Structure 1
């Protein structure tokens, strides 16, 4: 592995351990030339993925780009980094398991939106504002209204009425 500090082609692994719930290996490395220390991650890649952009341009899928966009949406939000990493790994696994060599950028955006919706409402709205290309305040109101309706629906499902007792049954006379 090339040293990011001096560019030396040789580095030594000092420590390896599982990361991301066993989906990756974290390696601590040291450069024998400049003594620089750095970390690398090794992940399984099932297939080479490409993203088909709205413009028609075809680019390689880059996991770190996905992670950066999610991190921007989650900036200054109280979300456990391990949950975020599991979310990103889950999206990447879903993309790889689709079996397609090309994935439309809209499909990736939809997966991120779905995942952020369950993780953090503010991050969801932030991401939606870029993904859906908000132009005015009413666009924000619309998405916040969607969130409010879904939270109300979830609350209604969790509060179920207690079963009626025999005393309450008017047909039991």
Structure 2
């Protein structure tokens, strides 16, 4: 990997060059069990598995992009995880700048009478992550392509309803 590869992969679009990523989809079928299409075979696009960036690669890449050592980055991430756990357990919301906001979410079930509402009607707590605008920008860099063996024409409709110029089933979202 080139020395600048981690920087280009993570921040290329934020340094003036707009890097576009392609998500590959394949056509899958499923026999519907309920609803108006029950018993009918329906087709849908399913994303192919993409590369998983593991923890050690994140640590190494962040260290290469900064003046921190891998040990510094590992320690900072460890302390951040501890901090998030502590604050969320206390019911606090945590905003992490360009990353987003973490909060605990524990909705209650609807009851017919107010006297039925108690601690047992609260559903299991979940951690909700709300991405910041900075991370949402990544979705504008994604293009999709569907490998559709059922296609008879060379043109395919994109997600916006316009025909793809190349007719390859790809689309910018």
Fold conserved between structures, TM > 0.5: no
What TM-score, normalized by structure 2, do the two folds share?
A: 0.24
What TM-score, normalized by structure 1, do the two folds share?
A: 0.24
Higher helix proportion? 1
Higher strand proportion? 2
Q: Which has the higher contact order (CA 8 A, sep 6+)?
A: 2
